[in-house]
Structure 1
Amino acid sequence: MLILTRKIDEAIRLGDDIRIVLVQIKGGQVRLGIECPSHVRVLREELYEAVRQENLNAVSSDPKHLAHLPRQKKPQAKPTE
């Protein structure tokens, strides 16, 4: 882990197009500003972990919970001429 010291209004760059600015220090919290392209997803870690856990839960669902879903027939192979 890289640890840096910054003062208010000082920034950190990640690559060419991500900029993180220390905006405010108040009590035991800091406020960060993040400038990045719109395709870069920025999440607080606790939200990221919650989404990740939900995705893991969805993938590892018990098959018996899916029993109520209708079954699809496999498509029949068409004979070639």
Structure 2
Amino acid sequence: MLVLSRKKGESIVIQDQIEVSILSVEGDTVRVGISAPAHIDIFRKEVYLSIQESNRESAIPAPANLEAFMQKIKKIKKN
């Protein structure tokens, strides 16, 4: 991890496309502005982790849904 110190009004640039600016510092809170191309998704970490968890959950079929699906397949095979 790269660790940098920045003051209000200062920025860092990532690969010519992303600029992270320090907008304000008030106590323990730092306001950060991020300029990036529209095709780059930017999320707060807790939101990103929630999205990842939802994706994992939706990739695993629920047992009840799986059982219902298997019953439909058995009916189709009989016909």
Q: Shorter-chain-normalised TM-score: which range?
A: 0.7 to 0.9
**5 Å matches for 1:2-81?**
2-68=2-68
**Residue type of the partner of 2:28?**
G
Name the one with the larger helix percent: 2
Question: What secondary structure, in the 3-state scheme, does the structure 1 residue paired with 2:31 have?
Answer: strand
TM-score (norm 1): 0.78
Structure 1 stretches lacking a partner, 5+ long:
74-81
RMSD: 1.7
Question: What secondary structure, in the 3-state scheme, does the structure 2 residue paired with 1:34 have?
Answer: strand
Identity of aligned residues (%): 31
**Structure 1 segments (4+ residues) deviating >3 Å:** 66-71
Structure 2 stretches lacking a partner, 5+ long:
none
- The number of equivalent residue pairs is 72
